Amino acid sequence: MEKEYLGQYNWQTAQKMIQSARAVIVPLGSTEQHGHHLPIDTDIITATDIAIRLAKRTDCVVMPTVNYGQVWSAKNFPATFSIEERHYIEYVKDIVRSLEKNGAKNVILFSGHWGNVAPIKILARELLDEEGYENVYHISYTNLAKNSEGIMESPLWNGSGFHASEIETSIMLAIAPETVDMSKAVCEYPEAPRGYSIRPVHWDKFAVSGIFGDATKATKEKGEKYLERWLNELVQLITENIH
């Protein structure tokens, strides 16, 4: 296990690490469908791996990953488990409160699942209002289109969607290739329902396998290049803003 991962240490060592680190990163994943070629813990694997890589470059430490998230869009797919948004917000707020009690200088909520992004922004705002915490940060995927340029071949679905497609599959091939079954990868660009951008629609109403994009074009090499570009951006974000 990587030395930055707090879960492997006893409480005395973990507390000292929490207090001395630039920040404590809390990886946030989800347990949900990712097409037929990726495992349901894709976002857990991604969040954990990226958090540890990020910690190595920024003098941070990493908490055990929160394995369930807000998955409203895909919650009607089998083997997808969604936590109601209000419950999720309160749960993660309690984790942050505990870290503050333990003397964390800063807390970074890092989501490997897009559905957690809105809730963690809300909870960071609420913790500022309720507790006065000015040291809670929220980060996730950044500049998808820009970071894909010159690496990925297929366009984002509907201008922004990438679930289980070339980007996410390439990342998984780079960090956990044994979990990917490329023989089941497909290209699917389902037609977005009318008004999709301005009203809630469950994915099972129009998606086929749960893929949004072209997973068949994914490769390990693309994943490694994308990860390096993404990590460099995240490192800069942390080093410039969190002291």
Sign of CA dihedral 14, 24, 140, 28: positive
Count of structural domains, the chain = 1
Q: Does 164 map to a domain? A: yes
Helix axes 220-241, 42-58, angle to 10 degrees: 50
Domain span including residue 193: 6-241
Distance separating alpha carbons of residues 78 and 209, to the nearest angstrom: 11
Strand partners of residue 109: 26, 138
Distance (Å, rounded) from C-alpha 37 to C-alpha 210?
Answer: 10
CA torsion sign for 1, 54, 42, 73 is positive
Domain membership of residue 1 (yes or no) is: no
Please tell me the pTM assigned to this model.
Answer: 0.97
In the chain, what percentage of residues exceed pLDDT 70?
100
214 φ, ψ (degrees, to nearest 5): -115, 95
If you ran DSSP here, which 8-state letter would residue 221 be given? H
Mind listing the pLDDT tens digit for each residue in 79-106?
999 999 999 999 999 999 999 999 999 9
Report the CATH number that the domain containing residue 113 is assigned in CATH: 3.40.50.10310
pLDDT of 28: 98
Convert the pLDDT of each residue in 11-60 to its tens digit: 999 999 999 999 999 999 999 999 999 999 999 999 999 999 999 999 99
Q: What is the pLDDT of residue 123?
A: 98
